[in-house]
Amino acid sequence: MKIGIVGSGYVGLVTGVCFTLKDHEVILVDVVKEKVDAINKGISPIYEPGLDEILKEALERNILRATTSYEEMMKEADVVFIAVPTPSKPDGSMDVRFIEAVAKQIVETLNKMEPRNLVFVMKSTVLPGTTENIFKALILAGIRDEWKGKISFTMNPEFLREGMAVEDFLNPDRVVIGADNDYGREVLVKIYRDFVDNEKILIVPIKVAELIKYASNAFLSMKISFANEIGNLAKSLGIDVYEVMEGVGMDKRIGRAFLNAGLGFGGSCFPKDVSALLNFGRSLGHEMKLLEATLEVNKKQPSKLVDLALKRYRSLEGKEVVVLGLAFKPNTDDVRESRALELIKELLEKGVAKVHAYDPKAIDNAKTVLDDERIIYHNSLESALGSADIVFIATEWQDFADESLYEGKEVFDGRKVIKGEKAKYYEGICW
């Protein structure tokens, strides 16, 4: 099939690149020319394990390219996936600006083309009603009459985890498909049957597909905040919450995943999706207390780690510290809503003179959002660790797990990366 993808970020690029493994022809469109040029040269603008190799192979086979032109992307496409951002507005509600802009560009392009069957797939995370009441409505209102009846609208939320995106895309737990007609639904089922068995494909109304994504992210975020709340209590009792969660997670009804207490959740999805759902619920008269508490617990975790250091040193005024990890989780360069950055901000607020920061992949991205002369970004772990003796671990990169790195150091661990066997002093946030 010929597949167009709108948006070449984490979701769009991974989706497009993975479709080439099943011999589909993929054209990605993006508004950022540098991204398009990089992709066409075989350089992935994002870091995801395994992505570069598949991208290069697809380019060599001539079955993938990127462009800034919607016309080029749509002129032969059978299916067009939409994977543009759906960020939060300052009040936490969902910003549909990008979806509206895409709809506008699609209308302009369709009106220059001859009508034929075309399926649009909303892959961006959007609140119930968005695909039909905004995206579909805008397109149907703008296109020539001959197109009507030829276009299918579908919704297919994405559940990949950054850092594991390729693996998750190729082996999903489930594929959720919402569609407004049989043709659109069948096209999507055909595409995904190459990746999963029938029983993993869930066919639902479009609105249900939209809400499944939010409910899933809200539940996972809630599990993390729950583990943190119990973790904060455990710490005050001298109990290691990881031992507790091992026992809790052995219950099949609960499961062990997402019960790792620590600095909390970040990234481009959980914080914004929980906020958007909370806001959406309120707008319909629902209080959504669990969601409110999930965000509140999460917000406070970085200060819990700083408080442990304050307890030990009384003041952090004028001290130099090392912060290991900037990405919101390991194996990604994504720093959006990273708890590590919140930790650094908090340390600076408490008067820390210099933060020596290191991350294996995320330094460039961190620099764009956290530019402060008191932060020194180091190119190597050794150089960062050699600069100060108080160390905060903020992201669970495997590179940080070697106990011998911390000889003579005072370590405040926000992710249970080490046991602190060789450290001069060791304190875990919830253990």
Ligand X SMILES: NC(=O)c1ccc[n+]([C@@H]2O[C@H](COP(=O)([O-])OP(=O)(O)OC[C@H]3O[C@@H](n4cnc5c(N)ncnc54)[C@H](O)[C@@H]3O)[C@@H](O)[C@H]2O)c1
Show which residues are catalytic.
Answer: 269
Residues numbered 335-394 forming contacts with ligand X, rule: CB under 6 A: none
Does 155 contact ligand X by CB under 6 A? no
Minimum Å distance from CB 202 to ligand X? Answer: 16
Nearer to ligand X, 121 or 244 (CB): 121
Residues numbered 237-296 forming contacts with ligand X, rule: CB under 6 A: 268-269
The stretch near ligand X (CB under 6 A) out of 7-15, 136-144, 173-181, 412-420 is 7-15
Does 11 contact ligand X by CB under 6 A? yes
Minimum Å distance from CB 22 to ligand X? Answer: 20
Report the candidate in 212, 165, 219, 174 with the shortest Cα–Cα distance to residue 195: 174
Contacting ligand X (CB under 6 A), which of 55, 80, 83, 324? 83
Rounded to an integer, what distance in angstroms lies between the CA atom of residue 13 and that of residue 30?
Answer: 10
Q: DSSP class of residue 414?
A: S
Put the strands of the sheet holding 151-155 in their side by side order.
64-67, 25-29, 2-6, 79-82, 118-122, 151-155, 175-179, 201-204
DSSP sequence for 229-273: HHHHHHHHTT--HHHHHHHHHTSTTT-STT---SS---SSSHHHH
Residues numbered 172-231 forming contacts with ligand X, rule: CB under 6 A: none
Rounded to an integer, what distance in angstroms lies between the CA atom of residue 12 and that of residue 373?
Answer: 35
At position 222, the amino acid (one-letter code) is: M
The 13-32 contact track toward ligand X, x by CB under 6 A, reads ----------------xxxx
Contacting ligand X (CB under 6 A), which of 85, 92, 205, 281? 85
Minimum Å distance from CB 107 to ligand X? Answer: 12
Instruction: End-to-end CA distance of the chain: give it in Å, rounded.
Output: 52
Nearer to ligand X, 162 or 180 (CB): 162
Nearer to ligand X, 12 or 330 (CB): 12
Does 142 contact ligand X by CB under 6 A? no
Nearer to ligand X, 124 or 395 (CB): 124
Does 66 contact ligand X by CB under 6 A? no
Chain Cα centroid distance, residue 3: 23
- Token look-up 């408490």 returns 350
Nearer to ligand X, 98 or 195 (CB): 98
At position 136, the amino acid (one-letter code) is: K
Does 12 contact ligand X by CB under 6 A? yes
How far CA 255 is from CA of 220, 246, 248, 250, 262, in Å, comes to 11, 9, 8, 6, 18
Residue ranges in contact with ligand X by CB under 6 A: 6-12, 29-32, 35, 83-86, 98, 101-102, 105, 124-125, 158, 160, 162, 268-269
